[in-house]
Every structure is written in structure tokens, then in C-alpha cells.
Structure 1
């Protein structure tokens, strides 16, 4: 019973603090209750575990906290590096290892509950992960095909589901009936799949972390990134959400600080478009009540990198003394857009517009493939080395 008294007190204080955090954020222009609730949970849990350890004569929690400090330093030093996803995921492993130690020393019910929950999720995914993933991918593919046009980017979840199905059928029904040298030839496939799965997990993690940007209300420019048009002259719902996010920040900043920002619409004219994306975006912003004098156009770019480069040139020309800028795009796209901003030498964080949930799996897979292509040589080397070992092993078995 003694072990439960600190746990009960912690739970009580945690929920009191959580209510205060939610009340505090309710009156803010950008409440983001989830982000600040997670911050409070991390701080309160860290203090609780530290007190428990001090009571038992140790302070090993300083190891995961020190590593978390390093992870956060790396992240805020440059938010657009893929290594940040790996570092955060490795922190989760370090913290999980620490929980095992804490439970063994303190027998605390809070730490024990966290550990059991983490192990349950891990085991659940280990035993049912691939089947659950396949079911989800087929379901998502059916929804996307029903609601969106049939194009290769919209078929990514279906293609992945089919690939996983083929691999599963091969592993369960075919592999055991093949000669050993043939199965050895394909033995590198699981390693390659694991490599790309870990790479995707790191990408997804850093993409989610990047969603929690909170730029201050002191921006001189808000860049809205363009996308394709309907009938060559009207913004799509997806593009409208990007512009709405920019307009929302523009209005919140004006209301809070009285500082006027310029909306910089960035997008050129495609071969199948009647007007530039920037002009269509301006027309939409005007229809939403934005004064024409607060809208600038960048209408020469053909891709995201050029969006950043050409927008930077306009801002530097207008504000040679320096400026503050952010950009808006859809939430699945802002991390890669941030990478292009860094490549263009533009110091700007991204704000993500919400995207329909059913569309996110395809969208993130498309972003992942695009980022893989940015580092294709590195991935090609890894795949080649794995396959070389498999081929060599297969040859040896064939002649033995």
C-alpha cells in the first residue's frame, strides 16, 4: 500500500496541473492543447521519477533526461534533418530501458504501468502488426479510390498492401518448398524491408515533431506554397487549406500584435493552367477579405525548391535589412518543404494545414518516396551490400 500513496498523489497533482494547462491554453490565439499537455506530462513524470530515485539512493533518470536534452538541442538547431527522427526514436528506447531499471528498484505502480503499456504495444505490433497493417492499407486504398481520382500517387497504399501480401504468401507457403540456395538468394529481402521500415519510422517521427511549430507573431512574410489548379484557374480544396492557414496566422498576428505581414503567394503557371497558381491563390485570398495591398506574387516557380528560392529573392529585395518569414503547406508536406527551405538558404519554419485522415497514408508514403530519392545513392549502397551478401551466400550453398 505504501508504494501506491506517491502514485495516487502524483495522479492527483498531474490532473490538477493538466486542468490548469488546458485552462491557460484555452484563451490563447494558438491553443494547441495537445502539445502543451504532452509537455506538462513529460515534466511532471520526470520530476516524479527523479524523486522516486532519490528516495532509493540513485539518479539514473539523469541519463535519459540528458539524452533528451541532446535530442532537443539537435532538433532546435535544425528541425529539418532526418537524423532527428532517429535520435528521438532512440530516446524512446533509452527511456524504455530506464523504466525497466526503475521498476526493478522502486516497484512503483506508475513506472510499472508505463512499462507494461509499452511492452503490450510492442508485442501487439510484433504478433499482429503486419496483418493489421495490411487490413488498414487495403481499407485505406478502397476509401482513397472511392474519393479521389485514380492516379499512381493515390495507389501507393494499395501497392504496398499487395507487396506485403505477396511477401507473406511467399514466406508462409512457398519458401519452405524451394531449394536452400534459392531461399538464401531472397534472404536479404527481410533485411531490406526492415531497413526501409526503420527509415520510414524515422521520417514519420520527425515529420510529426515538425507539426508542433509555434512561430511568434512577428512575421514580415507568410509564404503560401502553390499546388495544382481546378480547370487551370481555381484553387483546389487542398490548396485552399494552405491559403486558409496563411490567412489565419496573418489575422491572428494582426489582432495580437498589430503587425501587418505580407502574404506571399508562390506558384508558377503550368502548361495546362490558364493563370499562374500564385494569381489563383491571390484571387482566393481576395475573396476571403484579404486587402490586395497585403498580397505579393511569386509566379515563376515550378517546384518547391524554386518556391523557396524565388520567394527568398523577393523578400530580400523588399527587405534588405532583414525579415522574419514562415511558410504554409499541407501538414504532410511541410517537413520536406522545410528541407528545401534550408537548401535555398531560407530561414523559415512551416505551418501545416490539416488534411483529411484517409488521404494521409498515401500522402506520407509519397513524401517518404520523395525523400528517399533525395538520398538515393545512400540507400542504393545499403541495398546493394545486402543483396551482395545474399547472392554470395546463395552461390556458396549452390555449390556445396
Structure 2
């Protein structure tokens, strides 16, 4: 049982951190460390279990990730083709395809360098592989914990339902992506009324872009009113131009209404965890719920969210990458 002690420590730290605030990125890292330490502990116990138990463990730890990586590469390239076909060739729509090509490119590079037999090239590519492994670890942590965070259900009544805006079609019409958020917010509103609670204030949040005829909040409010929501139950936040401003300006409105408010924030599911981190940073008293997104859109959007989170923590991440480069360089020179 001693082999599982480290996994238990990481799991306990995860539980304590999540209990304090479920919106921290460190929860995602602790989740990943728990999984890795548990996998190592299982491998250390293989000689103590029957073969029919040991073989599935080895398969899960080694074969599944290897085959899964290849399958993931194929899937991402296929998804990239779908994204280009349906959404156009904007750089953001190419992320899944680039990630898939990167997987196979890295595999090919490792094979070529191994055949070349160059000590310097081995060191350079080895260091690159370690950096890729670090970034991949963070991505899997982000992905796994974001999935868990998306299972959160807010209990009890809330005072406000904040719905984050996005671009409008034709400058004044709500697109399907945004309609999904509004529908989720309306569902929360109607569910609270159905159980006899007071009607929460629906708070569409979004300002007017340079290419838009009206503020996003105004278009969102009109959509909700057209769906039967009373106008007196809607308050507009129509100044924000970024997600950070969505949070800050919405918090100002909610605090002015009731300093002890409780809210939920609604966005699309791929954006929920990162939006939750922003809500925590802005001091918003509430969790973030995700609304459904088209399946083909989710991979590229999730990669984009991870890149943003990685860059938001760039001081730590770039510092660790720099340390890995220095260690790789030192190891190559001393070999």
C-alpha cells in the first residue's frame, strides 16, 4: 500500500483545493499528478497480482496511450478538414489539423533522428520531446479536469444568470453558438421558477463591436424576450468587449443589486473552465456552466482555450520550458 501513498497525497490535495475553489488551474494539475502517480503505483504492484490482472494494467498504461496517440492524430486531422469545410480557413479553425500533423511530425522526427545516430541531434530532439511531453501533460490535465468541472451542478436558487456574449450575425442577429448559451440560461431561469423559487435576473453581457449594429447584450435580450422571458427580468451589461470585462462589469451590476448575490455564468462547454478561472480572478461569486456546442467545433475550440490558459500562466510555463532546455543542453554537452 506504500506505493499508493503519493497518489493518495495528490488526491487529498486535489480534494482540498477543489473544496476551497473549484475554479483553480492547479486543480487540473493535481488531477493529472494523481492519475500519473496512481499509474506508476499500479505498475509497481504487478508482481503481486495474478497475470489476468497484470496484463490489462500493462495494456492500459502502455498500449492504450500509444494507440490512442495515433488515433488522436488521425482524428484531429480529420476534424481539421471538417472545420475548414464548415467554418473556413481562419487560423483558429486550423488548430486541430495542425495538432494532428504535429503528432505525426514528432513521431517521424524521433524515428529519423534515431536512425541518424548523431549525439547532438539526439540531445536536441530529446529535449524537444520532453518539452512536448510537458505541454501534453498540461493539456491532458486541462482536458480531464475541464470535463469534470463541466459535470458541476449548481444547487439552490441564484440571484443572477450571466450569459456571456459572442459575435452577432449581420451585426444584430444571434448566431447558433450564442443561442445555445441563451437557451441554457433560460433553462436555468425556468427551472428555478418551476421549483417555486424567485425569478433570477437574466444578465446578458456583451458590448457593441466595431462591425455590429447593436450591442450583443441588446440582441441577446431581444432573443430572450422573443422566447417569452419578461423584459423586467432582464438586465443588460452592454459595455464589455472581452471575457474579462464581461466578468468585471457583470460583477459591478450584481454587487450593486445585492452585495451578497449568488450567480451562475453561462458560456459554451469548451469555454467553461477557462471562463471559471476568469470569474475567480474577477471576484465573481458563482460557478460557470457550459451549454452544448457542435461536436465538430469542440476540438479546435478546446485547443484554443488551452493555448490561452497556457499563455496566461506563461511565467511559470516558459520558465519550466527554459529549465528543461538548459537541462537538456547540459546533458548533451556532458555525454
Larger-Rg structure: 1
Q: Cα gap change, 1:330/1:184 in structure 2, threshold over 3 Å: closer, same or farther? A: same
> Does structure 2 retain, via aligned residues, the 8 Å contact 1:85–1:203?
yes
Q: Between 141-150 and 91-100, report the one with greater CA deviation.
A: 91-100
Equivalent position of 1:213 in the other structure = 152
For residues 165-191 of structure 1, what are the alpha-carbon distances to aligned partners after superposition, in whole Å with 9 as ceiling and x for unaligned? 322222223553364223323321000
Q: What root-mean-square deviation, in Å, do the aligned CA atoms of Structure 1 and Structure 2 show?
A: 2.8
1:303 aligns with 2:242: yes
> Does structure 1 retain, via aligned residues, the 8 Å contact 2:165–2:205?
yes
> Does structure 1 retain, via aligned residues, the 8 Å contact 2:261–2:285?
no
Please state how far the C-alpha of 1:347 moved relative to its aligned partner: 1.4
Equivalent position of 2:275 in the other structure = 337
Which structure ranks higher in relative contact order (CA pairs < 8 Å, sequence separation ≥ 6)? Answer: 2
Aligned pair count reads: 335
Provide TM-score, normalisation by structure 1.
0.76
**Structure 2: distance between partners of 1:106 and 1:205:** 29
**Structure 1: distance between partners of 2:197 and 2:109:** 64
Match of 2:59 among 120, 130, 133: 120
Q: Between 70-79 and 332-341, report the one with greater CA deviation.
A: 70-79
Matches within 5 A, 1:220-299: 220-299=159-238
Match of 1:359 among 280, 286, 297: 297
For residues 71-119 of structure 1, what are the alpha-carbon distances to aligned partners after superposition, in whole Å with 9 as ceiling and x for unaligned? 323212111112212222333345556667899778699xx4xx75454
**Structure 1: distance between partners of 2:182 and 2:57:** 39
Matches within 5 A, 1:143-154: 143-154=82-93
Q: Give secondary structure in 2 for the equivalent of 1:263.
A: strand
For residues 281-318 of structure 1, what are the alpha-carbon distances to aligned partners after superposition, in whole Å with 9 as ceiling and x for unaligned? 01111111111011110000111111111001011112
Q: Give secondary structure in 2 for the equivalent of 1:300.
A: coil
Q: Give secondary structure in 2 for the equivalent of 1:215.
A: coil
**Structure 2: distance between partners of 1:171 and 1:94:** 26
Match of 1:312 among 227, 247, 251: 251
Matches within 5 A, 1:48-67: none
- Structure 1 unaligned blocks of 5 or more: 1-57
Equivalent position of 2:23 in the other structure = 80
1:377 aligns with 2:320: no
> Does structure 2 retain, via aligned residues, the 8 Å contact 1:217–1:257?
no
Equivalent position of 1:32 in the other structure = none
**Structure 1: distance between partners of 2:265 and 2:173:** 21
Q: Give secondary structure in 2 for the equivalent of 1:298.
A: coil
**Structure 1: distance between partners of 2:162 and 2:24:** 21
Q: Give secondary structure in 2 for the equivalent of 1:332.
A: helix
Provide TM-score, normalisation by structure 2.
0.90
> Does structure 2 retain, via aligned residues, the 8 Å contact 1:182–1:394?
no
